[in-house]
């Protein structure tokens, strides 16, 4: 990858600004909140949808970088972060529930993503799966168990069209959208979001590690029960998972 010794064009970071471990929220407004869970957090940069903070966990540099909404900006962020040394990514974001019985505020740990978007087709044919790294998934599961956080484990649906999901009837291809959604649900997909597949595909190509832990904030399923959808549990799980990965990498 080019410009590894220079300031990255979009994310505005250079080697030394970030850690090898990176938490990836979509929302720039959530970066500072997540960074508060780190030791010695400090602001690094902010450009367009990408806001960057870096701190420490167990003495290791850990960064929080917003991707913005959707796979195009997410792919840019991951490309540039890898260029300056990042190798472990955990997406921390929100999603819509897809299975009956899920509740607002539920935590979903993603094992793979349906590539229902256009960005990753510019990297690999659609037949290639977008899968999370097993080491990261295991760290997330172990973290959730340690913290007593109940979670759903499974495949997410990564999409480009937010309103095509929540208001399909007003789309010209409404019948196709609803049929595809029904198929994803029947196949067992647990949630729908807009970034995971890009993170997984790029991590596969560049031989990096990636996973995702998400908070359920909505659904069109009638059985969804209303309770506060706070991201705190998700953030705690992600931070504890990073600590586990640091210890693993140290051979502890």
Query: pLDDT tens across 163-212, in order?
Result: 998 899 999 999 999 999 999 999 999 999 999 999 999 999 999 999 99
Residue 119 is assigned to a structural domain of this protein: yes
Residue 88 is assigned to a structural domain of this protein: yes
Residue 218's pLDDT band (boundaries 50, 70, 90)?
confident
Residue 2 is assigned to a structural domain of this protein: no
Average pLDDT over residues 225-237: 74
82-125: pLDDT as tens digits: 999 999 999 999 999 999 888 888 999 999 999 999 999 999 99
Q: Could you tell me the residue range of the domain that residue 86 belongs to?
A: 21-250
Residue 4's pLDDT band (boundaries 50, 70, 90)?
low
In angstroms, the CA 198 to CA 31 distance is 20
pLDDT at 59: 97
Average pLDDT over residues 1-22: 86
Residue 230's pLDDT band (boundaries 50, 70, 90)?
low
Contacts of 22 (CB under 8 A, 6+ apart): 62, 63, 64, 65, 81, 86, 88, 89, 90
194-208: pLDDT as tens digits: 999 999 999 999 999
CB 156 within 8 A of CB 196: yes
pLDDT at 220: 52
Q: How far is CA 241 from CA 24, 55, 136, 161, 244, in A?
A: 14, 16, 7, 30, 5
Residue 137 is assigned to a structural domain of this protein: yes
In angstroms, the CA 108 to CA 111 distance is 10
Q: Is the pLDDT of residue 146 over 60?
A: yes
- DSSP character at residue 146: H
Residue 192 is assigned to a structural domain of this protein: yes
Residue 224's pLDDT band (boundaries 50, 70, 90)?
very low
23-50: pLDDT as tens digits: 999 999 999 999 999 999 999 999 999 9
Mean pLDDT, all residues of the chain: 93
Specify the number of domains making up the chain: 1
pLDDT at 28: 97
For residue 42, which phi and psi values (nearest 5 degrees)? Answer: -145, 150
62-75: pLDDT as tens digits: 999 999 999 999 99
Residue 35 is assigned to a structural domain of this protein: yes
Residue 70 three-state SS? coil
Half-sphere exposure of 36 (CA within 13 A, CB side): 6
Residue recorded with tokens 């796979």: 71
Residue 5 is assigned to a structural domain of this protein: no
In angstroms, the CA 90 to CA 150 distance is 18
CB 192 within 8 A of CB 70: no
Residue 56 is assigned to a structural domain of this protein: yes
Contacts of 231 (CB under 8 A, 6+ apart): 30, 33, 92, 94, 215
For residue 129, give the CATH number of its domain. Answer: 3.40.50.1580
């Amino acid at each position: 990858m080019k410009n590894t010794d220079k300031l990255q064009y979009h994310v505005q970071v250079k080697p030394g600004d970030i850690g090898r471990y990176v938490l990836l929220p979509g929302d720039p407004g959530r970066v500072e909140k997540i960074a508060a869970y780190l030791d010695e957090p400090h602001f690094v940069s902010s450009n367009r949808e990408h806001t960057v903070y870096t701190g420490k966990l167990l003495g290791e540099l850990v960064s929080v970088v917003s991707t913005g909404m959707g796979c195009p900006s997410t792919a840019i962020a991951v490309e540039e972060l890898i260029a300056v040394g990042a190798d472990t990514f955990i997406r921390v974001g929100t999603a819509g529930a897809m299975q009956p019985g899920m509740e607002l505020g539920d935590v979903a740990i993603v094992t793979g993503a349906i590539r229902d978007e256009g960005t990753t087709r510019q990297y690999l044919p659609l037949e290639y799966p977008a899968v999370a790294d097993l080491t990261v998934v295991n760290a997330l599961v172990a973290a959730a168990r340690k913290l007593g956080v109940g979670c759903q484990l499974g495949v997410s649906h990564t999409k480009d069209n937010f309103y095509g999901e929540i208001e399909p009837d007003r789309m010209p291809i409404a019948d196709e959208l609803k049929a595809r959604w029904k198929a994803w649900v029947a196949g067992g997909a647990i949630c729908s979001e807009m970034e995971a597949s890009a993170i997984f595909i790029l991590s596969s190509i560049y031989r990096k590690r990636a996973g995702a832990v998400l908070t359920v904030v909505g659904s069109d399923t009638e059985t969804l029960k209303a309770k506060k959808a706070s991201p705190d549990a998700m953030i705690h799980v992600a931070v504890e998972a990073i600590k586990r990965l640091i210890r693993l990498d140290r051979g502890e």
